Every structure is written in C-alpha cells, then in structure tokens.
Amino acid sequence: MSIEFGRIYFDTEPLTQSQWPQVSTALGNVLALAGAFGVQLVVPQPVLEERQEQWVRNLDDKVQDLVRAHRKLEKSCQGFCDLPKLSDLERAKALESYRARSDAALREHGIATAVHTSRATQDLFRLAVKRVPPFDENGMGFKRCRDSALGYRSRDR
C-alpha cells in the first residue's frame, strides 16, 4: 500500500475528542499507523494553545460545579453534619502540570510542533475579507497557490 502524503497536521478537534494530553485509543491508532507508514505528525502551536484554553475553561467549569454542589450540601447539612472545607485548587500548578504532560505526550509520540505563521495580520485580514481559502479544491495549498488577493505567491508561509 502506498501513502500519497508525508505529514498529518492535527486540528484541535481530534485532540479535544481524545482529551489531550491524554491519548485515546482512536488517536493512539492514528499515531501508530502514521509511525508504521513513516508519516510525520505535526500539531500547530495555535492548536495546542486552543486545546489548553479549552482544558482551562473545562477545569474552571468543573471547579464552579463543585463549589455550587458544596454550597447545596452545606444548606442540607445545616448543623447536622460537618463538611470538609473545599481546598483552593492551585490553578497555576494545574496548568503547569497540564503543559508538562502535553510536552511529554508530544515527545513520547514523536509529534512535531509548527510555529505561528509569520504572515502579517494585515495580509491575513485581506485574505479573510476577500474570502480567499488557504488551499484550492484540488488540495493545492499554501506553498504553491497563487495569492490573487495579495498579488504574489505565498511561498514558505
């Protein structure tokens, strides 16, 4: 069997579905198959940042759920039982652990990261308002497509 591509770039969705930095069975299968076929795995830095922010929002939501549930339990227990105090979650420490685990997962699975684009915000805005897609219907992409909105070839961007 022949593979017609050499890289897989991950979007946020499969990482979210896997609960990254955990690696679900489905994502693990993709990683294993890519390795078996010599396909490089790449996660753009903005994707990692978006996934991290999703995780932080989810953590904040769960903490708030816990605080609300504790308040309800306190009302039910009024004077009948002693509830343990909720200790403050050390958010900075949790975020540090998340980042360390994410970095470890990237290393463990040989996943490279791609930096943010070096294109100017002005260029990106022009492309967006003119609705110029990043690649055409034939899959011709960033490196070879003619950038009619900007009037030049967008090589190596």
Residues 7 and 34 sit within 8 Å (Cβ to Cβ): no
State the pLDDT confidence band at 145, using cuts at 50, 70 and 90: very low
Q: How far apart are CA 8 and CA 129, in angstroms?
A: 28
Element (H, E) at 70: helix 45-77
4 vs 69, residue with greater confidence? 69
pTM: 0.72
Residue 2 reports pLDDT greater than 80: no
Asked if pLDDT for residue 99 goes beyond 50, the answer is: yes
Mean pLDDT, residues 115-141 taken together: 79
At residue 139, does pLDDT exceed 90?
A: no
Q: What is the pLDDT of residues 10-61, one digit of tens each?
A: 999 999 999 999 999 999 999 999 999 999 999 999 999 999 999 999 999 9
Q: Which residue has the higher pLDDT, 86 or 146?
A: 86
User: 45-77 and 91-108 helices cross at what angle (nearest 10)?
Assistant: 140
